[in-house]
Amino acid sequence: MGLMRILENLKYKFQRFSISEKLIVINVIFFIIPFFLQTLFYLFKIPITSFLSWFELLPNFEILFYRPWTIVTYGFLHGGFSHILWNMILLFFASRLYLNLFSEKQFLKNYFLGIITGGIVFLISYNVFPVFNGIYPPLVGSSAGVMSILIFVATYTPNQEVRVIFFNVKLQYIGIALVVLDILQIPDGNAGGRIAHLGGALIGFIYANQLQKGIDIGIFFDRMWNYINSFFNVNKKNNMRTVHRSKNSPKENSKNLRQEKIDSILDKISKSGYESLTQKEKDFLFKAGKNN
C-alpha cells in the first residue's frame, strides 16, 4: 500500500512538470537504466553494448532500415555524466525562454524535429564525406534537439538579452557562439556528435524563419498525432454527441482576439526584444503559454 502511494505521488508530481522538465526526467531515467541492466546482463554474461546498440543510431542506412526507431531513440541515450548534465542544463535554460512564447505542443515538435534532423545529417555526412570512411561510431545524446530549441529562440527573438555571469548578452550572439564552437571542434574528436548538433541548429534556424512567415514546417507532427489519436479514440467518438456551434460564437470570437493579441506581442518581441514588453504583456504571454 505504501509503495502504491509513493508511485501515485510521483505520478502526480510528474504530471505537474512542464514538458521540458518531463523530458529531463525521461532522459535521466534512460541514463540510469543501463547501469542496472549492466549488472543484470553481467550475471548472464551478456555484453550491455549489444543491447544498447539496438537504440543507438549507427551511420549505416542498411541498419537504419531494420531499426528505424533509432532515429529518435538515440536522443534519449548519453555517453557519460558530463554529457547528460550539460545537455539537460541547456535544455532547461532554452525551454524557459521557448515556453514563454509558444505552447508545449510546439516545443515538442521543435525538439523532435531537431533530434530527427540531427540524426539524418549525421547519417548523410558519414556516408558522403570521404574523411569518415571506415569509421562507424554510434550517435547518442539529445544535443541536436536541445540545439534546435536554443537556435529557434535565438532566431525568433534575436535581441532578447539573458544574463551570462556578469553581463547581459543577446540571444543571437549566444546562438552564433555555440554554432561556431561546434564547427571548430569537429576535427578534435566526436565529429559525428558535432555534425548532429549543427543539423539540430540548422532546423531550429529554418523553423523560426518559416514560422515568422506563418509557415509551420512541423505541421506533419500535428497530422500524425491527430491520426494516431483518432485511431485510438474511434469508438469513443462514435459514442459522443456532436455539439454544433455557430461560426460566430462568442467563444470563437474570444479565441480569435486572444490569438491576435499573442501575434502582436510576438511581433513586438521579434523587432525590439523580450525586454521591450510591459509587465502586463509579459504576464499575458506567460498565461497564454500555460493554457495552450
Tens of pLDDT, residue by residue over 98-134, are 998 888 889 999 999 999 999 999 999 888 876 666 6
Among 222, 245, 266, the domain-final residue is 222
Domain that holds residue 74: 2-222
Q: Cβ(162)–Cβ(168) under 8 Å?
A: yes
Which of 222, 241, 267 is the C-terminal boundary of a domain? 222
Per-residue model confidence (pLDDT) at position 234: 56
- Give the model's confidence band at 187: pLDDT under 50 very low, under 70 low, under 90 confident, else very high: confident
Q: What is the pLDDT of residue 244?
A: 46
Q: How much is the pLDDT for 242?
A: 45
Asked if the structure places residue 210 within a domain, the reply is: yes
Q: Is residue 43 part of a domain?
A: yes
Pair (271, 151) in one structural domain: no
Residue 246: inside a domain, yes or no?
no
- Residue 104 in domain: yes
In a domain, residue 205? The reply is yes
Q: Indicate if 158 and 54 belong to the same structural domain.
A: yes
Residues 6+ apart with CB under 8 A from 52: 34, 77
- 266 pLDDT tier (thresholds 50, 70, 90): confident
Q: Are residues 55 and 162 in the same domain?
A: yes
Residue 49 pLDDT more than 80? no
Question: Can you give the pLDDT at residue 250?
Answer: 59
> Which cell numbers in the block locate residue 61?
542506412
Determine which of 98-102, 170-174, 220-224, 253-257 has the lowest per-residue pLDDT on average.
253-257
Residue 128: what pLDDT?
84
Q: What is the mean pLDDT of residues 57-79?
A: 91
Residues 26 and 90 in one domain: yes
Adjacent-strand bridge partners of 139:
57
Domain assignment present for residue 27? The answer is yes
Of the chain, the percentage scoring pLDDT greater than 70 comes to 78
Q: Are residues 30 and 150 in the same domain?
A: yes
| Mean pLDDT (the chain, rounded) | 81
In this predicted model, which residue has the larger pLDDT, 91 or 279? Answer: 91
Are 205 and 277 found together in one domain?
Answer: no
The total of structural domains in the chain comes to: 2
* 201 shares a domain with 276: no
Q: List CB contacts of 69: < 8 A, sequence separation 6 or more.
A: 55
The pLDDT value given to residue 246? 44
In a domain, 52, yes or no: yes
